[in-house]
Chain A
Amino acid sequence: MSETPLLRTERLCKTYPDGQVNALVEVALSIRRGEHVALMGASGSGKSTLLNLLGGLDRPTSGAVFFEGRSLSDIPDLDRFRARNIGFVFQSFFLLPTLTALENVQVPMFEGPLSARQRSAKASELLKLVGMSHRLRHRPPQLSVGERQRIAIARALANDPPLLLADEPTGNLDSRTAAEVLDLFAHLHRDKGMTLVLVTHGQEVAERAERIVRMRDGRICCEGAALIPVSATER
């Protein structure tokens, strides 16, 4: 018996009413627990829309997203679901500029059961994990872009989610810093067993994934590490 995938989509469609843009057209995708997947495609190909739907940030026009076999549309409290199961990393980091690194990492933990002291201790640990233990009291504007992305990754890990969704996480970084951030993702995948889904434009970034899913005009056009056309796969 095959293992239930961590994420699965079924005839997933997303249409934006203004301008009748079909951002996603009947997308079927399955991601195993512990897999490292890169979503590639040109601007407007639908990869970020797919990522948002996978993370429950948006609702599909039709079709469904299943997390561990359960449709997201059946989950009454999607906020709580996101807080517990998904870590988001954005291209522009989206850290809160008025908070220190240590405080930024604690923000998602407010929805959890930890006390203030436990939250602080856990945030310290996570910042150590991403190599930022020397910058606990710094605010985002006082940090380099690479450091900010590391803090954003630590924040994404705050509630120990099994799934990390990253939208162009190295898009704003120079190549050396980008490589460091990708090393960090690789470490989370390899040593922590996290499932990673990264949206990227960069071939080098994508090649570090186990599987590359390429999108065009809202559809999956190619899939697999060797960029095999989707029609050739069994799905």
Chain B
Amino acid sequence: MRFYQFILKNVLQRKARSALTMIGVAIAVTAVVALVGIADGFERSFRELYERRGVDLLVVRAGSSEHLSSSVPQQVGEQIRQLPGVRAVSPGLMDVVSFEQYNANLTSVALQGWAADSFLFDDLRLISGRRLQAGDENGVMLGMVLARNLGKTSGDKLEIANHFFTVAGVFESFNPLESGSAVLLIGTLQALMDRPNQVTGFQIILEDAADKKALLERVRQEIESLRNAQGRPWGIAATPTRDYVRSTSQIRMAEAMAWMTSIIALVIGAVGVLNTMIMSVFERTREIGILRAIGWRKTRVVRLILYESVLLSIAGAAAGIVAAVLLTRALTWWPLVNGLIRGDVSPQVIVQGFLIALAVGLIGGAYPAYRGAYLLPTEALRHE
């Protein structure tokens, strides 16, 4: 018999207790992996939205941490386009609307306003209908997730903010966020939102360069020092894509919420393991006394109890991760989610889940292990 077999037997022989502990850890790990995974997926989706298209810089109103509240005059785009090293500029206006009249769950759907010639259209795969063209003032394109949730297809009428539009086409984007949104021409959205000549920001692609970093920095500075006709600065900030995404308030909030909920789940998980292991040590006081009497060292008793608790935690983590992956996948079909959640959980988050379970096992097992190891053999043997 090997030491690990001894540990395995201890865990397997106490089926009910082991199962309950594992379930406790599994629920905690499910919460952590699902929540952190969703927050992480949200950030990845957001980043991918720009990076897959090769967007290098994002220009918004300086100091606006909230993407939607940014407002920049559209003519700034023309000035940016003139700067050396800039290959393409796409203005974008964004708003969030409710489609409760079609589906009670669709309370916040992203509406995007793009220029008819924007490079942003190039990556959309048409499923039905056609791309929006200049002059399509009453046309709208729907992402496939949104179209499914609305029950609409190309040619159908769709009411947006008391105006009726015709669905010109349904598209699939590489990005779930975009597949859950609707696209209008920018002029149409400006009129709808009563924000004439205003955009939320610009997506900028730079020319290829040997020293891209230097080019990025130069263009960034040039954009920020652009001025209006009166010679006053526009008050805009140009930020590299990755930094922009990371600083976005929704993402920071989602991450903070995920971690806060996770910490609560973890504390509950660790208390569960602690409770089980302390009960186990109490129940096995005499057994530990025997092991000590026949020559087991304190360190071996510590290892026995810690390995048992870590084994329970890791087994719970495995179950919890499977549950989290299935849950995240299932959530993508929920209309309320509407593309906000990716179906995949990144390997880093899974590794994080395992490491956290390991910590839960070690923390939950530490005190019981200490107690077990320092039991006096003679007292332990007298224990009833």
Smallest CB separation, B291 vs chain A (Å): 7
Smallest CB separation, B368 vs chain A (Å): 18
Binary per-residue interface labels of chain A (90-122) against chain B in the complex, 1 for a CB within 8 Å, 0 otherwise: 100010101100110011101100001001100
Smallest CB separation, B101 vs chain A (Å): 64
A68 contacts the other chain (Cβ, under 8 Å)?
Answer: no
A79 and B1 contact, CB distance less than 8 A: no
A98 and B9 contact, CB distance less than 8 A: yes
Docked pose: A84 CA to B296 CA in angstroms: 11
A204 contacts the other chain (Cβ, under 8 Å)?
Answer: no
B1 and A103 contact, CB distance less than 8 A: yes
Knowing A58-B376, A90-B381, the reply to whether A83 touches B294 (Cβ < 8 A) is yes
CB-CB nearest in chain A for B295: A83
Interface residues of A in 159-184 (CB under 8 A from B): 159
Docked pose: A158 CA to B291 CA in angstroms: 13
CB-CB nearest in chain B for A93: B290
A228 contacts the other chain (Cβ, under 8 Å)?
Answer: no
Q: Residues of A contacting B248 with CB < 8 Å?
A: none
Q: Residues of A contacting B9 with CB < 8 Å?
A: 98-99, 103
Q: Residues of B contacting A116 with CB < 8 Å?
A: 1-2
A80 contacts the other chain (Cβ, under 8 Å)?
Answer: yes
Docked pose: A77 CA to B300 CA in angstroms: 13
Cβ-neighbour of B13 out of A90, A98, A110 (below 8 A): A98
CB-CB nearest in chain A for B380: A57
Cβ-neighbour of A79 out of B2, B3, B6, B296 (below 8 A): B296
Q: Residues of A contacting B1 with CB < 8 Å?
A: 99, 102-103, 106, 116, 119-120
Which one of A52, A58, A110, A155 has the greatest number of beta carbons of chain B within 10 Å? A110
Interface secondary structure of A, over-half rule: helix
A80 and B377 contact, CB distance less than 8 A: no
Q: Residues of A contacting B61 with CB < 8 Å?
A: none
Interface residues of A in 54-83 (CB under 8 A from B): 55, 57-58, 77, 79-80, 82-83
Tally A residues with Cβ within 8 Å of B: 31
A88 contacts the other chain (Cβ, under 8 Å)?
Answer: yes
B95 contacts the other chain (Cβ, under 8 Å)?
Answer: no
B297 contacts the other chain (Cβ, under 8 Å)?
Answer: yes
B10 contacts the other chain (Cβ, under 8 Å)?
Answer: yes
A98 and B2 contact, CB distance less than 8 A: no
B44 contacts the other chain (Cβ, under 8 Å)?
Answer: no
Smallest CB separation, B300 vs chain A (Å): 7
Docked pose: A162 CA to B286 CA in angstroms: 25
Cβ-neighbour of A159 out of B286, B292, B295 (below 8 A): B295
Cβ-neighbour of A110 out of B3, B290, B378 (below 8 A): B3
Knowing A106-B1, A119-B1, the reply to whether A155 touches B295 (Cβ < 8 A) is no
B136 contacts the other chain (Cβ, under 8 Å)?
Answer: no
Q: Residues of A contacting B172 with CB < 8 Å?
A: none
Chain B: residues with CB nearer than 8 A to chain A?
Answer: 1-3, 6, 9-10, 13, 286-287, 290-298, 300, 376-378, 381
Closest 10 CB pairs of A and B: A83-B295, A98-B13, A79-B297, A108-B294, A82-B295, A94-B290, A58-B378, A57-B377, A116-B2, A103-B1
Task: A58-B377, A58-B378, A99-B1 are known; give 10 further A-B pairs, CB within 8 A.
Answer: A55-B293, A79-B297, A83-B295, A88-B294, A90-B381, A94-B286, A103-B6, A110-B3, A110-B300, A155-B294
Can you give 25 contacting A-B residue pairs, CB < 8 Å?
Answer: A55-B293, A57-B293, A58-B377, A79-B292, A79-B295, A79-B297, A79-B298, A80-B297, A82-B295, A83-B294, A88-B293, A94-B290, A96-B287, A98-B9, A98-B10, A98-B13, A99-B1, A99-B6, A103-B1, A103-B9, A107-B6, A107-B294, A110-B6, A111-B296, A155-B294
Chain A: residues with CB nearer than 8 A to chain B?
Answer: 52, 55, 57-58, 77, 79-80, 82-84, 86, 88, 90, 94, 96, 98-99, 102-103, 106-108, 110-111, 116, 119-120, 155-156, 158-159
